[in-house]
A and B are shown apart, each in its own frame.
Chain A
Amino acid sequence: MASGELPATRGHALLLLREMLRIRRFEEKTVELYSLGKIRGFLHLYIGEEAVAVGAMQALTPDDSIVATYREHGQALARGVPAGALMAELFGKANGCSRGRGGSMHVFDVSRRFYGGYAIVGGGLPVALGLALADKLQGHSRITACFFGDGAVAEGEFHESLNLAALWKLPVLFLCENNLYAMGTALIRHQSQTDIWRKAEAYAIPADAVDGMDVVAVEAAARRAAETVRRGNGPYLLEARTYRFRAHSMYDPELYRTKEEVERWKQRDPLVTFPAALRARRVLSEAELAAMEGAVATEVDAAVRFAEDGPWEPVEDLTKDVYTGA
């Protein structure tokens, strides 16, 4: 499937749209809750990048493992982490998916093989390698998908991990979400080679870049990439070119880029272009879109209630789970 095409079935098209919408509306709600002080700490929004997580997740089975960054609400929701457990985590409540101990940046749901949630840039890559190594040694056929930003590419752990994954033919799908900025530092100011996918060549890893604003294209590329990894020949690097419409985090005054640039990228908002394409081909009616919006709003409201109603972890449990069984 090339860019601009639609998915094979109407059902799948609607699923992609719904998943992207869930992430967008969930995060818009977190902005409100943040200003109310219900959510604290760093909050990194994924708004604008939804097509990457949703597209990529289609290529993964429930048996595959996922490692993400601190900007992981999108991956978590697309993976099936319940919106309530995620929202409760953002509130810091004990019914959060990490018992409220991790917050926005450390989402874990081991039952869904969602292995975090890493707030050290690049820190998740070696862990993803280890998960893949464990699978290989135990004869499991699953793969590990590792999400990271363009900023992570400057860290030594990125290069060490690519080298080792290729050397040991580990089943890792490296998914670089290139949103053109590492906090406020533009790609051209932090990378000597701005085509990130090309870096894979130095490690003899097959690689590709895809339009990260096009969910269908991301899905197709991720499927190809995941299939390559599943064949057992080692890792693959997929670079998704995307953009975040919001600030790096809630504290960011955004001095490093112009409003015009952001507006230009918003023309390519997957939550505008994709529904428009579906409507143009008469796959989606206004009424259906409205119904979908309604269902998503209901889910988000329920998630907020779940978080509001959740208990705080008792202080007596403060030092619980530093060590196993203690």
Chain B
Amino acid sequence: MKTTYREAVRAALREALQSDPRVFLMGEDVGRYGGAYACSKGLLEEFGPERVRDTPLSESTFVGAGIGAAIGGMRPIVEVMTVNFSLLALDQIVNNAATLRHMSGGQLSIPLVVRMATGGGRQLAAQHSHSLEGWYAHVPGIKVLTPATLEDARGMLPTALRDPDPVFIFEHALLYPMEGELDENIGPVDISHAVVRRAGRDVSLITFGGCLGKVLEAAETLAAQGINAEVIDVRVLRPLDTAAILTSIAKTHRAVIVDEAWRTGSFAAEISARIMERAFYELDAPVARVCSAEVPMPYPKHLEDAALPQVDTIAHTVLEMLKPHG
């Protein structure tokens, strides 16, 4: 069936509301407006305002209320419009969602799902364009998912809803209009493993979320030049499937990590460190990273393009790595 990423998310939300009376959706403009990215369009009409709840602009409080509702026996799906706004809810996410289970000695479970849009590329400037999912992956007690494909957009939510712990799903805003074929019967997907999106032997391109498309494109460009790149979609930033990365390195002996976040302290740095720790002697070249420039995202298109990882920069980085040295 032909569909879009947005429609896949919507189908997942709809099914969740249909199949479990404990599920409800809340967030800014999820109801009457239909969702800032139209992911919940039509759901208010179908399920009513009890289950599709418009909230005031109170990120900390509606995320916290999601936590309380999860403790209280519901299965809330909280939508935070954009990852930048989730910073207003950091207190509830880091100090409550992630910690209450442990601090209570295991008495509490928080089956909460939080979805938010992340990433740049739409000329929205610095307060609407950042990729902060790597920050959240720093925090034990939560799970962090980055669906990059239609299957994951459709299938990660139902799996997340079955998870007894808080799960954060980061949807790259540029992916919503992405079109493709999706199996009509696709069900819940695994949320604990990375996936090889393209098999190869010369270099491992490790990425997730909004960069996957660019990385696959770069891999095709490289293939035209006789370089066979393997593309790993990490999918789950926490808990990270280190084994899948190491398996690929054992095959290719080279790694380029592509992450839309800033290089300093990025999730790419974490992946790089793990490769260093566990596969140093497998490497034929230093691990390379393609990340965003260390600037708040600029508004003009040429500057934004220059700041973000691009197909060219990815391909160029690989070519540099494969050049004979010495």
Is chain B found bound to chain A in the same assembly? yes
Which A residues fall within an 8 A CB radius of B? 65, 96-102, 106, 108-110, 115-118, 120, 123, 125-135, 137-138, 156-157, 160-161, 163-164, 167-168, 319-325
A173 nearest CB across to chain B (Å) = 14
Contacting B74 at CB < 8 Å: which of A97, A117, A137, A157? A137
Is B326 in contact with chain A by the CB < 8 A criterion? Answer: no
**B19 CB contacts on chain A under 8 angstroms:** none
Contacting A134 at CB < 8 Å: which of B72, B92, B107, B141? B72
**Given A126-B68, A320-B106, 16 more contacts at CB 8 Å?**
A99-B106, A100-B105, A106-B104, A109-B107, A115-B68, A117-B104, A123-B91, A126-B65, A130-B67, A130-B76, A131-B68, A134-B69, A135-B72, A138-B72, A157-B91, A161-B64
Which B residues fall within an 8 A CB radius of A? 24, 50, 53, 55-56, 58, 60-74, 76, 91-92, 95-96, 100-109, 140-141, 143, 163-165
Contacting B107 at CB < 8 Å: which of A110, A163, A167, A319? A110
A122, B165: Cα distance in complex, Å? 23
**B72 CB contacts on chain A under 8 angstroms:** 65, 130-135, 138
B64 nearest CB across to chain A (Å) = 2
Contacting B105 at CB < 8 Å: which of A108, A161, A163? A108
CB-nearest residue of chain B relative to A319?
A: B140
Judge whether B104 and A322 touch: CB under 8 Å.
Answer: no
Contacting A110 at CB < 8 Å: which of B69, B76, B104? B104
Given A125-B64, A156-B60: A322 in contact with B71 (beta carbons within 8 A): no
CB-nearest residue of chain B relative to A106?
A: B103
Contacting A96 at CB < 8 Å: which of B58, B68, B69, B105? B105
Judge whether A127 and B103 touch: CB under 8 Å.
Answer: no
Judge whether A164 and B55 touch: CB under 8 Å.
Answer: yes
**A99 CB contacts on chain B under 8 angstroms:** 105-106
**B73 CB contacts on chain A under 8 angstroms:** 134, 138
* 23 contacting pairs across A/B (C-beta < 8 A): A65-B72, A98-B103, A99-B105, A102-B103, A102-B105, A108-B105, A115-B68, A116-B103, A117-B104, A120-B95, A123-B95, A126-B92, A133-B68, A133-B72, A133-B74, A134-B73, A156-B60, A157-B61, A160-B58, A164-B55, A322-B141, A324-B101, A324-B109
List 10 tightest A-B contacts by C-beta distance, closest first.
Answer: A130-B68, A126-B64, A134-B72, A99-B105, A160-B58, A160-B61, A321-B106, A108-B104, A324-B164, A130-B65
A98, B99: Cα distance in complex, Å? 12
Judge whether A98 and B104 touch: CB under 8 Å.
Answer: yes
Judge whether A163 and B64 touch: CB under 8 Å.
Answer: no
Judge whether A164 and B62 touch: CB under 8 Å.
Answer: yes
Given A157-B91, A164-B56, A322-B141: A137 in contact with B68 (beta carbons within 8 A): no
Instruction: Determine which residue in A108, A160, A161, A325 has the highest number of CB atoms from chain B within 10 A of its CB, and name it.
Output: A160
Judge whether A322 and B61 touch: CB under 8 Å.
Answer: no
**A131 CB contacts on chain B under 8 angstroms:** 68-69, 71-72
**A319 CB contacts on chain B under 8 angstroms:** 140
Judge whether A126 and B105 touch: CB under 8 Å.
Answer: no
**B68 CB contacts on chain A under 8 angstroms:** 115, 126-134
A314 nearest CB across to chain B (Å) = 13
Contacting B64 at CB < 8 Å: which of A100, A109, A123, A134? A123
Contacting A137 at CB < 8 Å: which of B24, B101, B102? B24
A128, B72: Cα distance in complex, Å? 10
Instruction: Determine which residue in A115, A117, A127, A156 has the highest number of CB atoms from chain B within 10 A of its CB, and name it.
Output: A127
A120, B103: Cα distance in complex, Å? 13
**B95 CB contacts on chain A under 8 angstroms:** 120, 123
**A156 CB contacts on chain B under 8 angstroms:** 60
A78, B66: Cα distance in complex, Å? 28
**B56 CB contacts on chain A under 8 angstroms:** 160, 163-164, 167
CB-nearest residue of chain A relative to B53?
A: A168
Judge whether A108 and B67 touch: CB under 8 Å.
Answer: no
Judge whether B108 and A108 touch: CB under 8 Å.
Answer: yes
**A125 CB contacts on chain B under 8 angstroms:** 61, 64
B73 nearest CB across to chain A (Å) = 5
CB-nearest residue of chain B relative to A65?
A: B72
CB-nearest residue of chain A relative to B95?
A: A120
Given A120-B91, A157-B61: A130 in contact with B102 (beta carbons within 8 A): no
CB-nearest residue of chain A relative to B164?
A: A324
Instruction: Determine which residue in B53, B106, B163 has the highest number of CB atoms from chain A within 10 A of its CB, and name it.
Output: B106
**B53 CB contacts on chain A under 8 angstroms:** 168
B123 nearest CB across to chain A (Å) = 30
B180 nearest CB across to chain A (Å) = 32
Judge whether A110 and B108 touch: CB under 8 Å.
Answer: yes
Instruction: Determine which residue in A137, A167, A168 has the highest number of CB atoms from chain B within 10 A of its CB, and name it.
Output: A137
Judge whether A126 and B61 touch: CB under 8 Å.
Answer: yes
Judge whether B91 and A127 touch: CB under 8 Å.
Answer: no
Instruction: Determine which residue in B62, B67, B103 has the highest number of CB atoms from chain A within 10 A of its CB, and name it.
Output: B103
Judge whether B65 and A321 touch: CB under 8 Å.
Answer: no
Judge whether A115 and B71 touch: CB under 8 Å.
Answer: yes
A325, B71: Cα distance in complex, Å? 16
Given A115-B71, A120-B95, A129-B68: A322 in contact with B102 (beta carbons within 8 A): yes
**B109 CB contacts on chain A under 8 angstroms:** 324
**B76 CB contacts on chain A under 8 angstroms:** 130
A134, B70: Cα distance in complex, Å? 8
A4, B232: Cα distance in complex, Å? 73
CB-nearest residue of chain A relative to B72?
A: A134
**A98 CB contacts on chain B under 8 angstroms:** 103-105, 107
A208, B84: Cα distance in complex, Å? 38
A117, B165: Cα distance in complex, Å? 20
CB-nearest residue of chain B relative to A94?
A: B105
B32 nearest CB across to chain A (Å) = 15
Given A108-B107, A157-B91: A129 in contact with B65 (beta carbons within 8 A): yes
**A161 CB contacts on chain B under 8 angstroms:** 58, 61, 64
Given A167-B56, A323-B165, A325-B164: A130 in contact with B91 (beta carbons within 8 A): no
A117, B95: Cα distance in complex, Å? 12
